[in-house]
Structure 1
Amino acid sequence: MDDIDAMFSDLLGEMDLLTQSLDQETVPPAPLPSTEKEANFSIGFTDLNASLHELEDNDLDALMADLVADLSATEEKLAAEIEGLKVPPPPPSEQQLPPPPKVLTTRPASSLTSPTSPASTSSNVSTPSPSTTSPLPPPQSKKPTKEEIEVQMKADKIKLALEKLKEAKVKKLVVKVLMNDGCSKTLMVDERQNVREVLDNMFEKTHCDCNVDWSLCETNPELQLERTFEDHENLVEPLLAWTRDSENKILFQERGEKHEVFKNPQNFYLWKKDKKTLKDIKDKDKELLIQENFCGTSIIVPDLEGVLYLKEDGKKSWKQRLFQLRASGIYYVPKGKTKSSRDLVCFIQFDNVNVYYGKDFKSKYKAPTDFCFVLKHPQIQKESQYIKYLCCDDAWSMNLWVTGIRIAKYGVSLYQNFKTAEKKAAVSAVWTNRSTPSSSNPSTPSPTIKGSRTRNLPFTECFT
Structure 2
Amino acid sequence: MKDSSDEEEVSLGCSTLTLSPLVPESPPLHRSQPISINTNRKKGSEILSSSDSPIPNPFPDLCNLSLLSSSLPSESSDKFVIKVYGDESAYKTILIGRQATAREVCQLLVQSAHCSDEDNWALLEIYPTLGLERCLEDHEVVLEVQATWSVKVEARFMFSKNYDKYEFFHIQWRFFANAMISDSEDAMKKMTSTVFIRELTSNGKSPQIKGFFNLKGYFKTSWKKMFFTLRRSGLYISTKKTDNEHLKEFANLSVSNVYKVVDGKRYGAPTEFNFCIKPTKSQGQVKDLKIMCAETEEMRKMWICAFRLFKCGRQIKLNYNAISESKLAPRTPSKSENSLVAMDFTGKAGGRVIANPTEAQNAEQEEAQAWRKRETLRFCQPNTNSEPQDFSVHETHPWFYGGLSRNEAEKLIEKQGLVDGMFLMRRSQQHENCFVLSLCHELKVKHFIVIPVLEDGKKYLTLDDGKTRFIDLLQLVEFHQINKGALPVCLTRPCICVPL
How high is the TM-score relative to the length of structure 2? 0.51
In structure 1, the partner of 2:306 is: 404
Q: Residues 238-277 of structure 1: matches in 2 within 5 Å?
A: 238-244=145-151, 246-272=153-179
* C-alpha distance 365-296 of structure 1, shift in aligned 2 (>3 A): closer
Query: What letter matches 1:304 in structure 2?
Result: I
Amino acid at match of 2:76: A
> Match for 1:339 among 242, 251, 272?
242
CA drift at 1:186: 2.0
Change (3 A) 1:424 1:347: same
List gaps (5 residues or longer) in structure 1: 1-147, 274-284
- Residue 418 (structure 2) pairs with residue 459 (structure 1): yes
Structure 1 residue 304 corresponds to structure 2 residue 212: no
* 1:312-361 deviations in Å (ceiling 9; x for gaps): 12443100011122222222221xx3634322222222010000011212
| Displacement of 1:161 | 3.2
Inter-partner Cα distance in structure 1 for 2:160 and 2:120: 8
SS of 1:441 mapped into structure 2: helix
C-alpha contact (below 8 Å) 1:209/1:451 kept by paired residues = no
CA distance in 2 between counterparts of 1:154 and 1:392 reads: 59
1:459–1:429 Cα change, 3 Å: farther
The alpha-carbon distance between structure 1 residues 408 and 159, as it changes in their structure 2 partners (threshold 3 A), is: same
Question: Separation in 2 of the partners of 1:187 and 1:155?
Answer: 23
Alignment partner of 1:189 is 2:96:
yes
Aligned partner letter, 1:322:
F
| Structure 1 counterpart of 2:76, from 154, 168, 171 | 168
1:450–1:239 distance in 2 versus 1, CA, 3 Å: farther
| Equivalent position to 2:227, from 322, 329, 338 | 322
- Give the deviation of 1:268 after TM superposition: 3.0
Aligned partners of 1:245, 1:173: CA distance in 2, in Å? 22
Q: Distance in 1 between matches of 2:212 and 2:341?
A: 53
**Per-residue deviation, 1:307:** 1.4
Aligned 8 A contact 2:226 2:241 in 1? no
Equivalent position to 2:199, from 272, 275, 293: 293
1:379 aligns with 2:281: yes
Listed as ranges, the gaps of 5+ residues in structure 2 are: 1-58, 181-191, 343-359, 369-395, 400-408, 420-440, 445-500
How many Å separate the matches in 1 of 2:305 and 2:121? 17
AA of the residue aligned to 1:459: L
Displacement after TM superposition at 1:272 (Å)? 4.6
The letter for the 2-side match of 1:320 is K
Query: What is the alpha-carbon root mean square deviation over aligned residues?
Result: 3.9
CA distance in 1, matches of 2:250, 2:153: 29
Give the structure with the higher percent strand.
2
Compared CA separation, residues 462 and 248, structure 1 to 2 (3 A): farther
Q: Establish whether residue 423 from structure 1 lines up as the match of residue 328 from structure 2.
A: no
Greater helix proportion? 1
In the alignment, structure 1 residue 360 sits paired with structure 2 residue 263 = yes
Percent of aligned positions that are identical: 24
- Rate the CA distance shift 1:244–1:269 in 2: closer, same or farther, 3 A: closer
1:223 to 126, 130, 144: 130
Aligned 8 A contact 1:261 1:268 in 2 = yes
Q: 2:461 maps to which residue?
A: none
Alignment partners' CA distance in 2, 1:177 and 1:436: 37
Note the C-alpha offset of 1:259.
0.9
Once residues 145 and 413 of structure 2 are traced to their aligned partners in structure 1, the CA distance between those partners, rounded to angstroms, is 23
Q: 1:316–1:168: structure 2 CA closer, same or farther, 3 Å change rule?
A: farther
Q: Which of 105, 111, 131 in structure 2 is aligned with 1:204?
A: 111
In structure 2, give the amino acid aligned to 1:191. R
Please state whether the residue corresponding to 1:455 is helix, strand or coil: helix
Task: Give me the whole-angstrom Cα distance separating, in 1, the residues matched to 2:156 and 2:201.
Answer: 35
Q: State the distance in 1 between where 2:341 and 2:303 align.
A: 42
Conservation of the 8 A alpha-carbon contact between 1:191 and 1:236: yes
2:400 is aligned with 1:441: no
CA distance in 2, matches of 1:330, 1:206: 40
Tell me if the contact between 2:125 and 2:157 (Cα under 8 Å) persists in the aligned partners.
yes
CA–CA distance in structure 1, aligned partners of residues 331 and 110 of structure 2: 13
Deviations 1:421-456 (A, max 9, x none): 2233444768599989743339x9xxxx98659434
Query: Secondary structure of the residue that 2:364 maps to in structure 1?
Result: coil
Deviation at 1:228, TM superposition (A): 0.7
Shift in Å at residue 248 of structure 1? 2.2
Aligned pair in 2 of structure 1 residues 250, 428: CA closer, same or farther (>3 Å)? farther
SS at 1:256 equivalent? coil
Q: 1:328 to 1:215 in 2, by over 3 A?
A: same
How big is each residue's C-alpha offset from its partner over 1:67-107, in whole Å with a ceiling of 9 and x where there is no partner?
Answer: xxxxxxxxxxxxxxxxxxxxxxxxxxxxxxxxxxxxxxxxx
Q: 1:235 to 1:192 in 2, by over 3 A?
A: same
- Which whole-Å CA distance do the structure 1 matches of 2:443 and 2:275 have between them? 18
The alpha-carbon deviation at position 395 of structure 1 amounts to 0.6
What SS class does the counterpart of residue 159 from structure 1 fall into?
A: helix
Contact 2:256 2:280 in 1 (8 A): yes
Count of aligned positions: 294
Q: Show the counterpart of 1:177.
A: 84
